[in-house]
Structure 1
Amino acid sequence: MTSDTDWLSLVPRSVRTAPADLLAVVVVAVLTCGAVTLPGVRDTPLRVVLGLPFVLFVPGYAVIAALFPESGPAVAASGDADAAGRTGIDGLERVALSFGTSVALVSALGLLLNFTPWGLRLVPIVVAIGLLTVAAAVVGSRRRAALPEGERFGVPVRSSLPNDPNPFSSGSRTDAAFAVVLVLCLALAVGVGGYMVAAPGSGESFSEIYVLTGNQSGDLAAEDYPTELTAGEPTSLTVAVGNHEGTATDYVVVSQLQRVRVANNTTTVLEREALTRYRPSVEANATWRTEHAVTPTMTGDRLRLTYLLYEGSAPAEPTAANAYQSVHLWVNVTAPDSASS
């Protein structure tokens, strides 16, 4: 048994003596960060299984542990005469506050991230919650350690790894098994943390298409679009495609002028005029722009000038329903004679 005892002694004392509930909180935080960043794992149900408690319970529990390291007055029933005067909270109050605090913390972190360069995206949110959880768990562990053992909050299981010289004796097999699991989780945590530092996740991938026009100062802006067009006469617009797919992508942009009927929240295309097509190749995280001289021949009021975006190739009959992305403007097109009169 000497070799087993020596192997267990390699675990830092701060880990062996840390509360089991806070160690579990740290492990859940690290595993969740891995579940949303590691390829092959982030698309599995494990992401949801770990994500729900990670968002709804874990950060609040860690913060409550840091704020209230003392055991609650409920222990008075066990004969502790000093318990009634303690300021701690009991287990039921701790669980209830953990849920409420988690919701408040996650909402506040999301609001703060929305004003940072990282934005309100999955990986920054998960990393921020994880860092807050680990920091609160460390503070909570230190505050508990500063209290007399009889006043510390503890879970119904033993809250630390065994200090028994022979941890694999018949009376401590459960603690020994917990020690093995903990060491494995810590090794996994180090691996996940190293991966997240060396190859952080790229977040959600997407493409976008939008239309710009020159404003009064001569800059391109998504406002003050022309609404009155004349058949046969060009009107200049700028079409832009943004590639956030993480890799170079070939696109097809289809421009149409459509006569539509809107009834009962349903839009039906009655007639369509093909205007032009573009086939840009856009590098990752780049934006392609081109000037489109819109020269319609169809006339009418409330016509829909539509731009359809496809990856790779476009179908034989491009529509808004089968497009990857689309954007449209409402315009009135008049005949040249009507415009001059």
Structure 2
Amino acid sequence: MADGRSLWLLLPRQVRTLPADLAAILAVTALVNVAVFAPVIRETPLRVPLGLAFVLFIPGYAFIAALFPEDGDGPATADVVDSDGDESEDAQRWTVTNRSGIDGIERVALAFGLSIAIVPLIGLVLNFTPWGIRLVPIMISVSAFTIVTTAIAAVRRRQLPEDERFHVPYREWLAAGRAEVLEPDSRADTVLNVLLVLSIVLAVGTLTYAVVVPPEGEQFSAVYILTEDDDGDLVADGYPTEFVQGESEEIIVGVDNHEHRTVDYTVVVIEQDVEVVDNETVVHEQRELDRFEAQLEHNETWHHEHDLEPTMVGEDNRILWLLYPDEVPEDLSQESTEYHVHLWVDVAEPDED
């Protein structure tokens, strides 16, 4: 205990005397950054509740604290002295204090509203910077805004007389709660307190379970093909359709895993000489061109760049990318898997010259 006290005294006085609400703001900001950037913790559901609290409340509260360092108590009472010179409780009248602060309820309401306005504005500014709207720039910018406004709020509160500073009466709340729970006025109050505690525990447990063990949605995989445009971005457009036998074109195959489990995938590339007869596609001949394997976790995406080199000469030949989770059957066709994508190509003979 003494060691902990000594370490606490090593901190600067400004940190040790930081108001409880501002210290909580900095603590939540630090926890959110750990939950987002720490290698192991960022994969846990902890980042969801912390991220929601951070985005929807923390920046706005810090901004309000910087704008209104004063306490915002409501009307105060002043005693009126009666004709006998005694103070009369019945003669008390309400007087309005001249403080310019706001009370706790107003701070909470404005904190939500301003957070919803501040975070998009920060994102709008980042959109015109080289960093863009990405997780890391957003986290750094919102965290920096919160820390700066919290520091301003702390300085402005210290400049006020102690009785005019805003403070969170958490000690009074704890004392009142302890007295209400441990020292009830009647047996009915005891029963109600027990039911209230059980309800809170049940609500917290249900919320925790919903966050930690989210319901599984639809399970599926996906396969698709992409190309690279002039800016280096991957797009689902501009596919090569004209080939010369013996020459290849670069193409990218993509695979998405939404199976809620780790899956070993195999992508088989085949070419087919087909003909449409009575609205049905008849395969006259097919050959396997290539095969790729990848192991993906849930919600993981894999892009694989490869050279496509058809060998069958003819028009309207079909190239198929067949995606097989877990095992590859002997029959390689569209009917043997529900995940496939195709491309129609024309392949010409090479020029003899």
Q: CA, structure 1 residues 53+288, in 2 after alignment: closer, same or farther (shift >3 Å)?
A: closer
Question: What is the aligned length?
Answer: 258
Matched residues in 1 for 2:124 and 2:282: separation?
44
Q: Is the 8 A contact 1:210 1:327 kept in 2?
A: no
- In the TM superposition, what is the alpha-carbon distance from 1:14 to its structure 2 partner? 0.4
Matched residues in 1 for 2:327 and 2:46: separation?
36
- In the TM superposition, what is the alpha-carbon distance from 1:122 to its structure 2 partner? 3.1
What is aligned with 2:9? 9
Q: For 2:43, what is the secondary structure of its paired residue? A: coil
Q: Deviations over 1:322-341 (max 9, x none)?
A: 87xx8765x475999xxxxx
1:76 equivalenced with 2:75 (yes/no): yes
What is aligned with 1:255? 269
Identity %: 40
Q: Is the 8 A contact 1:66 1:137 kept in 2?
A: yes
1:153 equivalenced with 2:169 (yes/no): no
Q: Deviations over 1:130-166 (max 9, x none)?
A: 222122211111111122223222212269xxxxxxx
Q: For 1:105, what is the secondary structure of its paired residue? A: helix
Q: For 1:9, what is the secondary structure of its paired residue? A: helix
Q: For 2:249, what is the secondary structure of its paired residue? A: strand
Matched residues in 1 for 2:127 and 2:224: separation?
20
Q: TM-score by structure 1 length?
A: 0.56
- In the TM superposition, what is the alpha-carbon distance from 1:238 to its structure 2 partner? 1.8
What is aligned with 1:264? none
- In the TM superposition, what is the alpha-carbon distance from 1:114 to its structure 2 partner? 4.3
- In the TM superposition, what is the alpha-carbon distance from 1:116 to its structure 2 partner? 4.5
Q: Which of residues 129, 135, 152 in structure 2 aligns to 1:122?
A: 135
Matched residues in 1 for 2:25 and 2:132: separation?
26
What is aligned with 1:237? 249
- In the TM superposition, what is the alpha-carbon distance from 1:53 to its structure 2 partner? 0.6
1:1-341 equivalences under 5 Å are 8-72=8-72, 74-77=73-76, 83-84=97-98, 86=100, 88-157=101-170, 210-212=226-228, 224-225=238-239, 237-240=249-252, 254-256=268-270, 273-274=286-287, 276-277=289-290, 291-295=307-311, 305=319, 307=321, 315-316=328-329, 317=332, 329=343, 331=344
Matched to 2:19, the amino acid is: P
Q: TM-score by structure 2 length?
A: 0.54
Structure 1 alignment gaps of length 5 or more:
160-206, 243-250, 262-267, 282-286, 337-341
- In the TM superposition, what is the alpha-carbon distance from 1:290 to its structure 2 partner? 5.0
Matched residues in 2 for 1:318 and 1:113: separation?
48
Structure 2 alignment gaps of length 5 or more:
79-93, 173-222, 255-264, 295-302
Matched to 1:238, the amino acid is: E
Name the structure, 1 or 2, with higher relative contact order (CA <8 Å, separation 6+).
Answer: 1
